[in-house]
Amino acid sequence: MPDDLLTQDAPATYDASSIEVLEGLEPVRKRPGMYIGGTDERALHHLVAEVLDNSMDEAVAGHANRIEVELHADHAMTIRDNGRGIPIDPHPKFPEKSALEVILCTLHAGGKFSGKAYETSGGLHGVGASVVNALSDSMVVQVARDKTLYEQRFSRGVPLGPVEKVGAAPNRRGTTVTFHADADIFGHHKFKPARLFKSIRSKAYLFSGVEIRWKSAIDDGETPQEATFHFPGGLSDYLRETMNGASTYAEAPFSGTVDFQQKFRTPGKVEWAINWTPSRDGFLQSYCNTVPTPEGGTHVAGFWAAILKGIKAYGELVGNKKAAQITREDLIAGGCALVSCFIREPEFVGQTKDRLATVEAQRLVENAVRDHFDNWLAADTKSAGAILDFLVLRAEERMRRRQEKETQRKSATKKLRLPGKLVDCSSNTREGTELFIVEGDSAGGSAKMARDRKTQALLPLRGKILNVLGAASSKLGSNAEINDLTQALGVGLGSRFNIDDLRYDRIIIMTDADVDGAHIASLLMTFFFTQMRPMIDAGHLYLACPPLFRLTQGAKRVYCIDEAEKNELLEKGIGGKGKIDVSRFKGLGEMDAKDLKETTMDPASRKLIRVTIDEDEPGETGDLVERLMGKKPELRFQYIQENARFVAELDV
Ligand SMILES: Nc1ncnc2c1ncn2[C@@H]1O[C@H](COP(=O)(O)OP(=O)(O)OP(=O)(O)O)[C@@H](O)[C@H]1O
Ligand SMILES: [Mg+2]
Ligand SMILES: [Mg+2]
């Protein structure tokens, strides 16, 4: 599409009045971590993602079809699109300022809150552009609109002058942002051409309606200094490229696109591609509105649910009884998958948008993929058979391994000296067993009655365990609480840790829903992270989510995780008769066994959070420990709080 065609299509309603202001700018330079997850290399590259995402949003909304990304010799970055251009007319709320200035100098100013100017955008907070501006020692924004070229310059978030007309732009429109990251913030970190190249290329795969041009003045010896990306083949091409010639069970990947509008009468779509291979570990890369979500989220949960249900149903259809044993774990092991969804008003965890939290996405993606998968399996019986056999094999292997461990556990249990206060479960196999690490003895009381004796064990911990990050390893061995814990788990510390010795399937930290509880949980997580990391990697560590409130109305009883949920329910009503009675649990000990079981312990009704670590980014893990254990308790608490609200990775 040539530029002028796009110009004619642009609706007249996208102007300053579509930009809403919710709050003022200030803390970005003081606390960059809050907005871009740190000040390291990953955070630096996130600046480019923010500006590029804004151009991608223009493209996905149908207003731009070309984006140029350029890395200059001085490490400044330019991102240019041929979209509508950021509005430059005076903003209705601040008549003395242009919308451009409001957008770049105000947090929470944006055109993506209402869905009027954009339908399914990656941007949603109205924060990205202003954050990049605040963290750049120089930023120049040029807007070509109405045949005129406008420009405004900034330094560290402060305008150096008003927006000015700098020339004519008869055949051009769009936004050009050039910024230079502030070394006061990012220190010695510099842009890496290879990293930029990779993320830009993936953007082009995610939206075939855009052409992205890459240019770099810096030669790293491996990355092309110029390239043009346009991939009409979308995700299945991307998957083929990513799998890099590995042999696969299906001849062609199972891939497709479903338009939610057509199918469910709601805006958005999902695109996916998956194939299984014997020759490498599986992976899943997920995106929402072209924003990478390395930690997955609801769209990913929906995707795996569709695949799992589909393959099991197919197994039943062809009379393969063993298909019923397949779990999500088996699917993931050799499955290489890409999932990209576009939804309206996505909810992410944090400004770096690592995880999608929109509940709706799970149902939409699952339903969309499920139909297609059933048809695909039925149509290509050769591939379907090969995949089914492979997955059944994986399931059997997994069960055999577990069996071996169970036998080991039995004999290990006899030999082991178990701590006196451990309330063990009666099952003598590891499969399906859980250890609840509970805070305080009083909680232990109701937990004892609430537990399932066969599969649920309890270990009450008294007081706060040693702040192990500060302690030398030699001190660890002499700490009584830590000794009890490692004995109960059946494992050694650090290099002596062997995951096969683990005596339980799930280790669940269950602490009060208050600051102290959060502190203890973070101490424990840090301890596990530094001493028993493979246990976290293999997905054995969980946080329980005890509720904070109980609402009773006549015979009706409901529980709420936090203040917000309580208020919402009080407003909506809970469907009982008479007055609503609110009780707040000060700690686990205040809950009776029935409450505790129903809300926190019973696998049928509880919520659990699986503790995970983002492996991709080396900077990340350090951050986690720092955030959990650093000098600021409020950050720790925030971490727990943020995560405690997220319940997408529900217990099954
Ligand atoms: N390249 C662009 N073309 C057109 N409008 C833009 C462009 N970049 C930014 N905008 C406008 O500026 C607003 C603010 O951008 P900003 O990145 O600060 O927030 P956002 O994209 O709304 O949300 P997020 O903080 O999640 O990125 C956008 O909502 C959009 O209206
Ligand atoms: Mg944005
Ligand atoms: Mg903004």
Which helix (H) or strand (E) element contains residue 56?
helix 41-60
User: How does residue 469 score in pLDDT terms, banded at 50, 70 and 90?
Assistant: very low
Can you tell me the mean pLDDT for 290-307? 94
* Gap from CA of 45 to ligand 2 centroid (Å): 14
Separation between Cα atoms, residue 306 and residue 374, nearest integer Å:
9
Going from the Cα of 22 to the center of ligand 3, the distance in angstroms, rounded, reads 10
pTM flag (> 0.95): no
124 in a labelled binding site: yes
126 in a known ligand binding site: yes
118 has binding-site annotation: no
User: Comparing 66-70, 82-86, 472-476, which segment has the lowest mean pLDDT?
Assistant: 472-476
CB of 80 sitting under 6 A from ligand 1: no
Check the CA dihedral 312-315-317-319 and report its sign.
negative
Distance 122 CA to ligand 2 centre (A): 7
- d(CA 218, ligand 2 centre) in Å: 26
pLDDT tens digits for range 353-365: 889 999 999 999 9
Task: Give the neighbor-by-neighbor strand order of the sheet with 581-584.
Answer: 556-560, 549-553, 581-584
Please name the residue that has the structure tokens 């992976």: 283
Q: Which residues are catalytic?
A: 439, 512, 514, 516
CB-based contacts of 215, cutoff 8 Å, min separation 6: 68, 69, 70, 71, 225, 226
Q: Residue 502, annotated ligand binder?
A: no
User: What per-residue confidence (pLDDT) applies to 251?
Assistant: 87
pLDDT at residue 162 tops 90: yes
Distance 326 CA to ligand 3 centre (A): 46
Please tell me what DSSP assigns to residue 117. S
Which residue type sits at 453?
A: R
Contact residues for 18 (Cβ-Cβ < 8 A; gap 6+): 87, 111, 114, 116, 117
Q: Which residue has the higher pLDDT, 483 or 193?
A: 193
> What pLDDT is recorded for position 562?
77
- The region of weakest confidence among 56-65, 229-238, 428-437, 458-467 is 458-467
What DSSP string runs through 488-527? Answer: HHT--SGGG--GGG---SEEEEE--SSHHHHHHHHHHHHH
**Which of 648 and 133 is assigned the larger pLDDT?**
133
- For residues 493-514, give the mean pLDDT: 86
Split at pLDDT 50, 70, 90, the class of 528 is confident
The mean pLDDT of the chain is: 84
pLDDT digit string (tens) for 382-397?
A: 999 999 999 999 899 8
Lowest-pLDDT range of 24-33, 287-296, 547-556, 624-633:
624-633
Q: Which residue has the tokens 């990697």?
A: 537
- Please tell me if the CB atom of residue 86 comes closer than 6 angstroms to any atom of ligand 1: yes
Alpha carbon nearest to ligand 1 atom 14, residue: 110
Would the annotation count 353 as a binding residue? yes
Separation CA 154–CA 161 (nearest Å): 8
User: Model confidence at 470, in pLDDT bands (50, 70, 90)?
Assistant: very low
Residue 647, pLDDT > 50, answer: no
Tell me what pLDDT residue 22 has: 40
Q: How much helix, strand and coil, in percent to the nearest 5, is found in the chain? A: 40, 20, 40
pLDDT, tens digit, 9 for 90 and up, residues 40-50: 999 999 999 99
Q: What angle do CA 76, 77, 80 make, to 5 degrees?
A: 145
216: phi then psi, degrees, rounded to nearest 5: -140, 130
Residue 189's pLDDT is 92
Domains in the chain with CATH codes: 26-218 (3.30.565.10), 235-399 (3.30.230.10), 420-546+585-612 (3.40.50.670), 618-652 (no CATH)
- Expressed in angstroms and rounded, the spacing between residue 50 Cα and the centre of ligand 1 is 9
Share of the chain above pLDDT 90, in %: 47
126 C-alpha vs ligand 1 centroid, how far in Å?
6
Neighbour-count burial for 174-213, b at 16+ CB within 10 Å, e otherwise: bbbbbbbbbeebbeebebbbebbbebbbbbbbbbeebbbb
User: Is the CB of 127 inside a 6 Å radius of any atom of ligand 1?
Assistant: yes
Would you state the pLDDT for residue 25?
61
| C-beta 372 within 6 A of ligand 1 | no
Mean pLDDT in residue range 627-638: 47
Tell me, what's the ipTM?
0.98
Residue whose Cα lies nearest atom 1 of ligand 1: it is 55
Alpha-helical regions (H) of 260-327: 260-264, 298-317
* Whether the CB of 111 sits within 6 Å of ligand 1: yes
User: Of 91, 112, 133, 289, which is best to mutate to test ligand 1, by the most ligand atoms within 8 angstroms of its C-beta?
Assistant: 112
- pLDDT at res. 617: 42
pLDDT of residue 19: 61
Distance, in Å, from the CA atom of 650 to the CA atom of 110, rounded to the nearest integer, reads 33
Task: Kindly report, residue by residue over 95-114, the tens digit of the pLDDT.
Answer: 888 999 999 998 877 887 77
Mean pLDDT of 424-450: 85
Collapsing DSSP to helix, strand or coil, 592 comes out as coil
CA distance 229 to 201: 6
Residues 6+ apart with CB under 8 A from 300: 284, 286, 293, 339, 356
Whether 236 lines ligand 1, by a CB cut-off of 6 Å, is no
If one residue of 15, 35, 54 were mutated to test the ligand 1 pocket, choosing by the most ligand atoms within 8 A of its CB, it would be 54
Mean pLDDT within 604-619 = 67
Q: Please tell me the predicted confidence (pLDDT) of residue 10.
A: 52
Closest ligand to C-alpha of residue 79 is: 1
Nearest to 504 by CA among 520, 486, 521: 486
What are the pLDDT digits (tens) for 247-267? 899 989 999 999 999 999 999
- 14 has binding-site annotation: yes
Model confidence band, residue 246 (pLDDT cutoffs 50, 70, 90): confident
* Closest C-alpha among 566, 477, 581, 467 to residue 525: 467
Q: What are residue 99's DSSP bridge partners?
A: none
Task: Judge contact between 408 and 422, C-beta under 8 A.
Answer: no
- Low-confidence winner among 72-81, 299-308, 588-597 (lowest mean pLDDT): 588-597
What's the pLDDT at 230?
94
- Pocket probe for ligand 1: among 20, 66, 86, the residue whose CB has the most ligand atoms within 8 Å is 86
Name which of 63-77, 361-375, 486-500 the model is least confident about.
Answer: 486-500
Sheet with 335-343: strands ordered across = 254-259, 268-276, 335-343, 283-288, 291-292
150 is in an annotated binding site: no
Pairwise CA distance, residues 459 & 283, whole Å: 35
Whole-number pLDDT of residue 635: 47
Question: Mutation test of ligand 1: which of 48, 68, 103, 203 has the most ligand atoms closer than 8 Å to its C-beta?
Answer: 103
Which ligand has the minimum distance to the alpha carbon of residue 110?
1
3 state SS of 261? helix
- pLDDT tens sequence across 561-601: 778 888 888 888 888 888 888 988 877 877 888 888 988 99
Predicted confidence (pLDDT) per residue in 400-422, tens digit: 878 776 666 555 555 567 888 88
CA-closest residue to ligand 1 atom 10: 86
Q: Is residue 222 classed exposed, middle or buried when 0-12, 13-18 and 19+ CB atoms within 10 A define those classes?
A: exposed
Joined together, the tokens standing for residue 295 give 């930690």
pLDDT of residue 275: 95
Nearest CA to ligand 1 atom 24: 123
pLDDT of residue 28: 87
When pLDDT is averaged across residues 288-297 and rounded to a whole number, the result is 91
Match 């399914």 to its residue by tokens: 120
Q: Which amino acid is at 34?
A: M
Nearest bound ligand to the CA of residue 125: 1
The confidence band for 538, taking pLDDT boundaries of 50, 70 and 90, is confident
Ligand 1 within 6 A of CB of 352 = no
Q: Is pLDDT of 93 > 80?
A: yes
pLDDT digits (tens, 9 = 90+) for 3-32: 544 555 555 677 777 665 444 566 788 888
